[in-house]
């Protein structure tokens, strides 16, 4: 993976901390950017690669946890490592439940931080990849004709060709042709792959008539 | 005729008693010269004088006896004078106040009185009874020494008693045809004996009065002195005077004890100055010199260093007294030992100082979490830089420039951490009580630095409106920090239920007419309870559930110790606390608070 696809952002109101962390991250080979407030970070254009966010809890203006919520709504892939001046257990628990990678109490060991950053970037990258798969699957599913899509929904339900034909009031042979086209268009060879790609694309199985 | 006598004698008694009562304040006694004079003139002379006319007229009207009007008048007049002079003083002095005094007489005095009575009786008996009519008339003066003895030693009681003895024996002897007043006709004898006794008794009564008066005066003076010295002792007062004309000096016993002077040591300015603490000596000497030149009263407070090594605090007040020609005659004064007071004040100040310190410690306690956070920032930076340095070293030969920067950052952060700790230590340690010129703007900044994290945690922005070119005030910086810290923390507490967006503190400094500085801390919180606006500064008053109620009390006592005043008021939303400090405070005791 190229270095440009990875970024670590530091959001802390204390300049010394920002300088120290930037230096540490650079020495570990990461690209680092620093921000003095949550608002400043939100103003940055959305980064498309894997992103780790080192976020201070207590800041003037928007606090760390509030930024976490805002980012969740935005639906971006950054993974958050909280850094805080005092170990406030309820805040930490809430942050972890909402998907933070780690919660480090200042002053922390530099290596500990690097490990947390590494984990965060890995998770961010995974998430990014998953999202890529989903997008691909969806675009393929979109290429299907309405009839083909209908057949797909019944296949995913686990019906046989004969049963599908009965459901659609058509010939078994016709269903067989549609099914072949679906397999071809989605680029899969087995029913198992067909089911997985349908899930990624968010295809809901058809409902059997009573 | 008896009725007539009753009328005329009552007339005499009324005139005498009326005048005496009118002129003398009650009770009537024979212990004052004025009283005795009034009695002799009005009761013993004027009364008989006037009533004798009436008396003689009655005798003439009733054709009683064969004497002429003027003869009767003269006999009545002299005999009534004598009766008034002898019997009235005897009755008034002996039983006027009851006779309880008789049982209180000491034995020695009783014996003296008995001896005197014996002597009087025998001398009078010899003079008026034993001696024949041909005896030398100078012998009539023989009782005089004993009469004077009675007057001098026993006052008006003795005098009246002696006069009565004399009168009784003289009249009795004459009546029985003995002694010097038995040679002529009965009327002539009576007249001469009456004249003799009147002449003897008037001076004697006056003498007795003079002697008693002086005795009383001496007693009053002694009582007054006793009272003054009692007051002097109980108030730790020293009275003293130096008379330059007579080259005499005097100081009360208590004063000599305070100054540690010997009982007969002569006072002088030099002696006094030698006892004054060397550090105060010049100032005291100057004050005296100034008083001498201006003839004004001097007053100064100073320390006394006594030969026994003890230091005492005194206030002296005195004045030079000048004679008619303007020359200095006397130096008089009073000194008050205020050592106990000064020590009590000092004790109180120390207690207050300790209380203020405890309050600072507790403020810091409330801020521990915030201060830890504040301290963790530079420590985090240092730890990160150290880790970065190790990684850079592991990657091969380091870039000198990068390392230089890294180490500079580490040094800066270490200093910052040190400053925070120093600030806390400075704030919490015992105050030295030193005052120095303080810029209140700097105090505001320092306090905001201490509170930085707490303010962040409570999401409360602080706005400052600091006047440029603020004159500095003479103050104890730590105490002023405490004042501001407490006020800001108070504001933070008050805004706990204020929605986050509306929380705000405004601190302003203003220079008021170049003589005082005004500092205001305004919050947008719940405000002060209206009915308790005056109570917020009281001891143990608190609206907080777990508040001690000491914070604002201490704050106010600090402000007042700096010659300032702290007030509180409600504004449209929230409360406003403000205090003024004089740019140049009035002379204060050196120890703060």
What residue has token string 């009364």? B47
Residue B151 in contact with residue B144, Cβ under 8 Å?
A: no
A 28-67 → B contacts, CB under 8 A: 28, 58-60
Say yes or no for a CB contact (<8 Å) between A26 and B378. no
Determine the longest span between alpha carbons in chain A, in angstroms: 74
Residue B409 in contact with residue B383, Cβ under 8 Å?
A: no
Pick the CATH number of B235-337 from 3.30.450.20, 3.60.20.10, 3.40.50.720, 1.20.120.330: 3.30.450.20
Distance to chain B for A16, nearest Cα, Å: 6
When CB atoms are compared, the residue of B379, B385, B406 closest to A106 is: B379
What ipTM does this complex have? 0.75
Residue A35 phi/psi, 5° resolution? -135, 140
Residue A31 in contact with residue A4, Cβ under 8 Å?
A: yes
B461 neighbourhood in chain A, CB within 8 Å? 60
**Which residue in chain A is spatially nearest to B416 when comparing CA positions?**
A16
Distance to chain A for B541, nearest Cα, Å: 33
What is the average pLDDT across A192-203?
83
Confidence check: pLDDT of A4 > 70: no
Give the per-residue pLDDT at A121.
92
Give the per-residue pLDDT at B587.
44
Residues 6+ apart with CB under 8 A from B33: B206, B209, B210, B213
Size of interface A-B (CB pairs under 8 A): 91
When CB atoms are compared, the residue of A19, A27, A85 closest to B373 is: A85
When CB atoms are compared, the residue of B372, B413, B457 closest to A16 is: B413
How many percent of chain A have pLDDT more than 90? 27
User: Kindly report the CA angle at B220 between B215 and B222, in degrees rounded to 5?
Assistant: 95
Say yes or no for a CB contact (<8 Å) between A60 and B392. no
Residue-wise over B106-131: b if at least 16 C-beta within 10 A, else e?
Answer: eeeeeebbeebbeebeebbbebbeeb
For chain B, residues classed under CATH 3.30.450.20 are 235-337
- What are the tens digits of pLDDT across the range A109-156? 888 999 999 999 999 988 888 888 888 888 888 888 888 888 888 888
Give the per-residue pLDDT at B31.
77
| Each residue's pLDDT expressed in tens, for chain B with a length of 593 residues | 778 778 878 877 888 778 777 877 766 677 778 888 888 888 888 888 888 888 888 888 887 766 788 888 888 888 888 888 888 888 888 887 777 777 877 888 888 888 988 998 888 888 887 776 676 777 788 888 888 888 888 888 888 888 888 888 888 888 887 777 777 777 788 888 888 888 888 888 888 888 888 888 887 878 877 887 787 777 778 888 888 877 888 888 888 888 888 888 888 888 888 888 888 888 888 888 888 888 788 888 888 888 888 888 888 888 888 888 878 888 888 888 888 888 888 888 777 777 777 888 887 777 777 788 888 899 999 999 999 999 999 988 888 898 999 999 999 999 999 988 888 887 777 666 678 888 999 999 988 888 887 888 788 889 999 998 888 898 888 888 888 988 998 888 888 888 888 889 999 999 887 788 999 999 998 888 776 666 667 655 555 555 555 678 788 888 888 888 888 888 888 889 999 998 875 444 444 44
**Which residue in chain A is spatially nearest to B388 when comparing CA positions?**
A24
Query: With an 8 Å Cβ cutoff, is B141 touching chain A?
Result: no
When CB atoms are compared, the residue of A13, A20, A85 closest to B384 is: A20
Q: Alpha helices, DSSP H only, in B397-476?
A: 400-428, 440-457
pTM: 0.54
Architecture of the domain whose range is B344-582: 2-Layer Sandwich (3.30)
Where along chain A do its domains lie? 3-134, 143-201
Architecture of the domain whose range is A143-201: Orthogonal Bundle (1.10)
Pick the CATH number of A3-134 from 3.40.50.720, 3.30.2320.20, 3.40.50.970, 3.40.50.2300: 3.40.50.2300
For chain B, residues classed under CATH 3.30.565.10 are 344-582
């Amino acid at each position: 993976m190229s270095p440009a696809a990875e970024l670590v952002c530091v959001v802390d109101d204390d300049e010394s901390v920002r300088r120290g962390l930037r230096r540490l991250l650079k020495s570990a080979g990461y690209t680092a950017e620093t921000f003095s407030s949550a608002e400043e970070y939100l103003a940055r254009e959305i980064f498309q690669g894997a992103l780790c966010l080192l976020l201070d809890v207590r800041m003037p203006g928007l606090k760390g946890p509030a930024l976490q919520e805002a980012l969740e709504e935005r639906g971006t892939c950054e993974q958050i490592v909280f850094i805080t001046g005092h170990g406030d257990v309820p805040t930490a628990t809430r942050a972890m439940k909402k998907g933070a990678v780690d919660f480090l109490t200042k002053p922390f060991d530099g290596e500990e931080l690097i490990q947390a950053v590494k984990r965060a970037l890995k998770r961010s990258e995974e998430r990014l990849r998953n999202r890529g798969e989903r997008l691909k699957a969806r675009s393929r599913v979109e290429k299907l004709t309405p009839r083909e899509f209908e057949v797909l929904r019944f296949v995913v339900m686990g019906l046989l060709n004969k049963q599908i034909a009965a459901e659609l009031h058509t010939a078994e042979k016709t269903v067989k042709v549609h099914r072949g086209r679906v397999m071809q268009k989605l680029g899969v060879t087995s029913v198992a792959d067909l089911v997985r790609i349908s899930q990624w694309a968010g295809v809901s199985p058809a409902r059997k008539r009573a | 005729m008896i009725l007539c006598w009753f009328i005329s004698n009552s007339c005499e008694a009324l005139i005498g008693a009326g005048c005496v009562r009118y002129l003398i304040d009650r009770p009537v006694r024979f212990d004052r010269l004025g009283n005795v004079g009034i009695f002799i003139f009005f009761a013993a002379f004027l009364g008989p004088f006037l009533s004798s006319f009436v008396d003689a007229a009655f005798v003439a009207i009733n054709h009683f006896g064969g004497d002429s009007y003027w003869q009767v008048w003269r006999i009545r007049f002299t005999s009534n004078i004598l009766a008034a002079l002898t019997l009235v003083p005897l009755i008034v002095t002996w039983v006027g106040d009851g006779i309880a005094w008789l049982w209180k007489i000491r034995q020695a005095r009783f014996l003296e009185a008995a001896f005197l009575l014996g002597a009087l009786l025998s001398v009078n008996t010899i003079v008026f009874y034993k001696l024949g009519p041909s005896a030398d008339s100078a012998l009539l003066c023989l009782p005089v020494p004993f009469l004077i003895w009675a007057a001098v030693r026993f006052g008006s009681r003795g005098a009246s008693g002696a006069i009565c003895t004399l009168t009784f024996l003289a009249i009795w002897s004459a009546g029985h045809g003995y002694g010097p007043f038995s040679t002529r006709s009965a009327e002539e004898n009576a007249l001469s004996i009456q004249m003799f006794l009147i002449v003897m008794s008037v001076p004697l009564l006056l003498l007795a009065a003079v002697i008693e008066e002086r005795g009383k005066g001496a007693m009053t003076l002694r009582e007054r002195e006793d009272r003054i010295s009692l007051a002097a002792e109980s108030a730790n007062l020293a009275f003293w005077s130096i008379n330059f004309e007579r080259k005499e000096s005097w100081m009360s016993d208590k004063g000599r004890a305070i100054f540690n002077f010997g009982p007969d040591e002569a006072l002088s300015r030099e002696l006094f100055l030698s006892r004054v603490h060397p550090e105060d000596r010049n100032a005291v000497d100057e004050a005296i010199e100034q008083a001498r030149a201006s003839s004004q009263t001097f007053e100064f407070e100073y320390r006394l260093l006594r030969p026994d090594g003890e230091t005492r605090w005194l206030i002296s007040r005195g004045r030079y007294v000048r004679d008619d020609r303007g020359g200095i005659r006397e130096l008089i004064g009073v000194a008050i030992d205020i050592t106990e007071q000064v020590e009590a004040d000092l004790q109180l100040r120390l207690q207050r100082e300790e209380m203020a310190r405890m309050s600072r410690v507790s403020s810091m306690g409330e801020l521990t979490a915030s201060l830890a956070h504040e301290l963790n920032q530079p420590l985090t930076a240092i730890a990160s830089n150290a880790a970065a340095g190790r990684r850079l070293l592991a990657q091969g030969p380091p870039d000198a420039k990068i390392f230089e920067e890294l180490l500079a950052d580490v040094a800066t952060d270490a200093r910052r951490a040190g400053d925070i700790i120093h600030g806390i230590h400075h704030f919490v340690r015992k105050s030295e009580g030193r005052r120095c010129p303080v810029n209140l703007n700097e105090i505001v900044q320092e306090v905001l630095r201490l509170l930085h994290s707490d303010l962040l945690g409570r999401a409360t922005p602080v706005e400052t409106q600091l006047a440029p070119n603020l004159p500095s005030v003479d103050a104890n910086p730590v105490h002023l920090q405490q004042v501001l810290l407490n006020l800001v923390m108070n504001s933070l507490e008050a805004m706990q239920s204020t929605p986050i967006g509306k929380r705000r503190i405004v601190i302003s400094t203003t220079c008021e007419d170049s003589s005082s500085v005004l500092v205001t801390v305004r919050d947008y919180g719940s405000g002060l309870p209206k009915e308790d606006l005056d109570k917020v500064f009281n001891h143990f008053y608190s609206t907080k559930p777990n508040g001690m109620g000491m914070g604002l009390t201490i704050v106010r006592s600090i402000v007042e110790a700096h010659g300032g005043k702290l007030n509180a008021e409600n504004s449209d939303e929230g409360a406003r606390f403000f205090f003024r400090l004089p740019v140049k405070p009035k002379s204060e005791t050196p120890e703060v608070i």
